[in-house]
Each structure stands twice: as structure tokens, then as C-alpha cells.
Amino acid sequence: MAFYGDVFRRAGSYLSVGEPVLGAGDVAPGLEQDLLGAWWHEAARTDERVAPQDADTLPAEAQWVQRALRQLSNSRFFSGIALRSMVSDLKQVTQYLTVPEVREEARGRVIEAVGPDTRVVVGHSLGSVVAYEALCAMPGHGVRTLVTLGSPLGIAHLVFDRLEPSPLDGRGTWPGDEDTTWTNVADMRDVVALEKDLRPRFGDRVRNALVDNGAQAHSVIPYLTDRVTGEAIAGGLL
């Protein structure tokens, strides 16, 4: 288990306990607002309780961010998730993709955890991006199977085009050799996994599976306990 959550947190002090209180005003223009808009669009498409974006509303408007967060809080996907946690997730993705020091440290933790006897690597959500990049940075590794759960890897422009190594002619690097297998598992209502099928981005060798996680569309627990995930992991250990 590679842990790198501390990479995204500011150093603690006696005057600041716990996570910072984040709100709509902390969602920065650019990638953070673009990701928020993508989440809102997908939530409105899959959940009747979420109102769609107005065609004449621009993401740059301050009220747009407030409306987006309010609508997402109404969705089944983000039900029960505090507003500051939503904003924190946006900032973690943005930090990883745009701050070299954060990216190198998080990816390095995974690289350190992959030993010569490691046969399967499992990555969930942003962790799937870190796991993918770590394997790409380890030519000749002995990992047989990569399993990605609720992955945002296929989101064009926002995530895919920012990967390291950079995609070539619209195709991402294969994270291993010809014997490496890759299974991507996504819930149809998982807002983070906007692109359920990774084959257009990474080739036909990616095996994609759709699952039903119930009310916890993005939670790692139903992903890990699904038969499809178990079979993919077991296949890499045989």
C-alpha cells in the first residue's frame, strides 16, 4: 500500500487543526473550475436530481461555482460529502497534474512500493493516475496486471493530455510490456470516471468492465468487492 496523502496537505501547526475550511471561493479558475464543470455535466446526465448547466452561463462567473457545488451536493454521487471535501478533491487532482514536486513525490511513493515480486497494482480514482504513471516510469518492471477503479485517465484535455509520458498522436503509453494486462472497472454513474472505456485512449488491449456500486458509485469498497475486480487481481497472481 503506497501512501502519499500527506503530500497534498500543508504542514500542521498548533494554530491549525485538521483540514482547512474550503468553500466556493477557493475553486481556482482554470483546471479546477474545468473539472468541476465536467463533474456537473456528468452528474446532470446521470442523475435527475441535478439540474443541467445553463448554456449561457460561463465557468468564469463566481456564482457559477456556487451553483455547481450546490447542484453536485444534491446528486446521489456526492450525497453526504461535505463541500470542503469536494473542493479538496479538485485541488488534489490539480496539484498532482500541475505541481511537479507533488507529482514526483506521490509517484515516487508508488515506485518505492513496487518490488521485484509485485505482480498486481491496483489504483482507485486519482490513485489510478499515479499508479499508471509510476509503471510507465519503471521500464522492465515485473508487474503482470494493472487494475484501475473509477479512473479519470480517459478524460481528454483535463487529465489524459496532461499525463507523463505525454500521449503520442492521441494514444497513451502502454504501462508495461506485451505481457502486461490492464483491466479498467467503472460504475456507469461514477462522475469521476467520465470516460468508462479507455480503449480509444490507450488501445484495444485495455479490458473495460462496467459494475453497479449502488449508492456508492465512486467508493473504493464496492469496487474492490466486485467479482470483476477480484477476477482481474487473481488473474495477475496465477
- Residues 33-57 have pLDDT tens digits of 898 889 888 888 888 888 888 744 4
Task: Clarify whether residues 79 and 167 are in a common domain.
Answer: no
Task: Clarify whether residues 233 and 120 are in a common domain.
Answer: yes
Percent helix, strand, coil in the chain, to 5, is: 40, 10, 45
What is the model's pLDDT at position 55?
A: 47
Cell numbers of 151, please? 479512473
Task: Clarify whether residues 165 and 85 are in a common domain.
Answer: no
For position 174, which CATH number holds?
3.40.50.1820
Residues sharing a CB contact under 8 Å with residue 225, sequence separation 6 or more, in sequence order: none
Domain for residue 71, yes or no?
yes
What is the model's pLDDT at position 10?
A: 63
Domain for residue 1, yes or no?
no
What is the model's pLDDT at position 14?
A: 47
Residues sharing a CB contact under 8 Å with residue 5, sequence separation 6 or more, in sequence order: none
What is the model's pLDDT at position 43?
A: 85
What is the model's pLDDT at position 107?
A: 97
Domain for residue 78, yes or no?
yes
Domain for residue 140, yes or no?
yes
What is the model's pLDDT at position 61?
A: 58
CA proximity to 207, closest of 232, 190, 237, 234: 232
What is the model's pLDDT at position 150?
A: 94
Domain for residue 15, yes or no?
no
DSSP secondary structure string for all residues of 77-113: TTTT--HHHHHHHHHHHHHHHH-HHHHHHHHHHHHHH
Among 97, 129, 156, residue at a domain's last position: 97
Domain for residue 19, yes or no?
no
CA proximity to 228, closest of 214, 207, 200: 207
Domain for residue 16, yes or no?
no
Task: Clarify whether residues 152 and 225 are in a common domain.
Answer: yes
Domain for residue 102, yes or no?
no
Question: Domain count of the chain?
Answer: 2
Residues sharing a CB contact under 8 Å with residue 28, sequence separation 6 or more, in sequence order: 91, 94
Task: Clarify whether residues 86 and 123 are in a common domain.
Answer: no
The two beta strands, 181-187 and 145-149, are parallel
Question: Which structural domain, as residue segments, surrounds residue 59?
Answer: 24-97
Task: Clarify whether residues 132 and 195 are in a common domain.
Answer: yes
Task: Clarify whether residues 60 and 128 are in a common domain.
Answer: no
Task: Clarify whether residues 233 and 119 are in a common domain.
Answer: yes
What is the model's pLDDT at position 147?
A: 98
Q: Are 69 and 63 in contact (CB under 8 A)?
A: no
Task: Clarify whether residues 231 and 169 are in a common domain.
Answer: yes
The values of phi and psi at residue 144, to 5°, are -90, -35
State the residue for C-alpha cell 501547526.
13
CA–CA gap between residue 17 and residue 168 (Å, rounded): 44
Task: Clarify whether residues 127 and 74 are in a common domain.
Answer: no
CA–CA gap between residue 200 and residue 156 (Å, rounded): 11
Among 48, 65, 97, residue at a domain's last position: 97
What is the model's pLDDT at position 80?
A: 59
Cell numbers of 202, please? 490507450
Burial of 193 (0-12, 13-18, 19+ CB in 10 A): buried
What is the model's pLDDT at position 68?
A: 84
Task: Clarify whether residues 131 and 196 are in a common domain.
Answer: yes
Residues of the chain with pLDDT under 50: 13-16, 55-57
What is the model's pLDDT at position 62?
A: 59
Task: Clarify whether residues 52 and 135 are in a common domain.
Answer: no
What is the model's pLDDT at position 218?
A: 84
Say how many C-beta atoms besides its own lie within 10 A of residue 233's C-beta. Answer: 17
Among 70, 97, 124, residue at a domain's last position: 97
What is the model's pLDDT at position 83?
A: 63
